[in-house]
Structure 1
Amino acid sequence: MYHIIVNKMAGNGKGLRMWKETEKFLVKRSVTYHVSFTEYAGHAGKLIENIDENLIHAVVVVGGDGTIHEVVNKLVHKSVALGIVPAGSGNDLARSLRVPFDVEGALSRILKGSYQLIDVPKAGKEHFISIAGLGFDGKVAEVTNRSKSKRLLNKLGLGGLSYVLNIFRVLFTYQPSDISVAVDGRLHEFEDVWLIAVANLPFYGGGIMICPDACGNDGALDICVVSGIGRWELLFVFPLAFKGKHIKHRNVTMLRGAVIKVSPNSAMVMQCDGEVVQSGTTVFSVEEKALKIF
């Protein structure tokens, strides 16, 4: 049986529309399922907290990356697989895994039953699936999640642009920090750091390919550090990240490792899969092939 988790408010109501399409598809195909609807932040995780692995074949999320993030934290090392019907504003996990953005395509992929095992990173005790970002992008995620522009753009079907717009809002007030980054025990020191992205998969922010070579089953995390760059030059570099071409810029450093310790000299906002979490000195690690995903 499939347990469907629906965030009706994902994409400012897109979740509800896609659930109605999902329901029609499942009924037409005579698929056995149970559906639960989220009512508040954190509810998706609670809905599957005591999931019966003998009864449930897969949890299918009709929602965005935030809802998926909650579910992933409950499915690590379980026999239950994760399926995705992308209904958020960014849908970066679906983009990274090439999950179709239409209901029929996404569900057909799930019903084929062929899953892959992917790595699940941890930021401290918090699992994430795609990317954790500290600094500038963490602050942008924080501002985006509470912005009116996100809700408006979602209504227009342009939800991914909300992150881009808020980059400009944060750009002229953000203050870079000095940071130490230890990668598998090797220490790297950076001054005037704008952001550090620790990636299991390539995309975040609604299509920004911040770590283009990140692979979800290689047992390692890719790290992108942007440091020592002026605000106006950062504006030039930013568009390059949509194609992953920023990595050749002199102020961008790419690293890779299995255990990463990030130690900022001042407070930094951190996001995991777009959800703002507590930060400070943080150790990132990888639990290899810990999640089944369609």
Structure 2
Amino acid sequence: MNPMSGTTTLAQKNKIKQIVSKLPESQLFFTEYSGHATKIAQQAVREGIATVVAIGGDGTVNEVGKGLIGSNTSLGIIPIGSGNGLARHLKIPLKIEKAIQFVMSQPAVLMDVCFLNDIPFFCTAGVGFDAEVAHEFAKQNSRGLKTYARMALKSFRTYKSETFQIDNEDKTVFAITFANATQYGNNAMISPKSKIDDGLIEMVLLKPFPFGAAPIIGVRLFRGTLPNSRYIETQTSENFSLKAKKDFLIHYDGEPHQLSTNELSISIKKQSLKVVGNV
């Protein structure tokens, strides 16, 4: 459990602790630093544990999940983050008691895992405007959709579209998203037709657009009709390659990260993670 996740109150987190403490054959660990959840998950695999449950947001889910790739240990999710993108895609209840019941009762299924260079991601990853917003959002003391929207508006005023070499073709774009799942989180559907068990990645290009089009694009994002926009181009493949004029600032499952390379390779490992959910 990530004690710092999302907008969940201290009382709600204490409630989770009380419920979990009463469950048979369960043990609750609290993450203490970045990467700690991955180490806990890897130890669980070595011990032959059936399921490791990530209690947190998409960042915590990513940390736990990367320690379980290719193993027989399943990933469970109790979503208490800001966006909960993977949980929403998997139709996991957002209410704590129902989420716990879901994890305890549902079978595990296999899902794909995508990689941005050697960094695994389960929902989305990308470069451009979204990465800038994720970088600013990570600096804030408060979480949630309102804070994210405020950072997006702030970044929108100053961000300039960039030119990337995409599979050896130069394209000027506002943002590029690589989607394994349908959404970023909060039901912001960047790639409504994505499936996490089809062995394919959707690359969604958001082209430069006038300021007046921003509200319409935002509405389409949450209504699941973004692919209908003239400013959207979607390509589907098992791999993509990108080059930039400077080292990439990326986001993966909502987490910002500065790379020390201007080259990206995006790939997929088919059905390589067991997860409790509905694909």
Structure 2 residue runs of 5 or longer lacking an equivalent are none
- Counting only pairs closer than 5 Å after superposition, residues 136-285 of structure 1 correspond to structure 2 as 136-148=129-141, 151=142, 154=143, 159-182=144-167, 187-191=168-172, 193-279=173-259, 280-285=262-267
Please report how far the alpha carbon of residue 43 of structure 1 lies from its aligned counterpart in structure 2 after TM superposition: 2.0
Q: Secondary structure at the match of 1:50?
A: helix
Report if the CA contact (8 A) 1:81-1:292 is conserved: yes
Report if the CA contact (8 A) 1:7-1:16 is conserved: no
Structure 1 distance, partners of 2:12, 2:77, is 11
**RMSD of equivalent CA atoms:** 1.9
Give the counterpart letter for 1:288 in structure 2: K
Q: Secondary structure at the match of 1:170?
A: helix
Sort the Cα spacing of 1:274 and 1:84 in 2 relative to 1 into closer, same or farther, 3 A.
same
Structure 1 distance, partners of 2:119, 2:272, is 14
Deviation per CA, 1:143-170: give whole Å up to 9, x if none.
011124xx1xx4xxxx122222211000
Give the counterpart letter for 1:161 in structure 2: K
Q: Secondary structure at the match of 1:66?
A: helix
Report if the CA contact (8 A) 1:202-1:210 is conserved: yes
Give the counterpart letter for 2:170 in structure 1: E
- Counting only pairs closer than 5 Å after superposition, residues 130-141 of structure 1 correspond to structure 2 as 130-141=123-134
Report if the CA contact (8 A) 2:239-2:266 is conserved: yes
> How does the TM-score come out when normalised to structure 1?
0.87
Q: Secondary structure at the match of 2:28?
A: strand
Give the counterpart letter for 1:224 in structure 2: V
Deviation per CA, 1:24-50: give whole Å up to 9, x if none.
33455x421122111222221233333
Sort the Cα spacing of 1:51 and 1:112 in 2 relative to 1 into closer, same or farther, 3 A.
same
Structure 1 residue runs of 5 or longer lacking an equivalent are 1-5
Please report how far the alpha carbon of residue 15 of structure 1 lies from its aligned counterpart in structure 2 after TM superposition: 6.8
Structure 1 distance, partners of 2:208, 2:47, is 53
Report if the CA contact (8 A) 1:160-1:207 is conserved: no
Q: Which residue of 1 aligns with 2:6?
A: 11
Report if the CA contact (8 A) 2:2-2:55 is conserved: yes
Q: 1:127 aligns with which of 112, 120, 128?
A: 120
% same residue: 27
Structure 2 distance, partners of 1:228, 1:275, is 24
Q: 1:22 aligns with which of 7, 16, 25?
A: 16
Report if the CA contact (8 A) 1:262-1:282 is conserved: yes
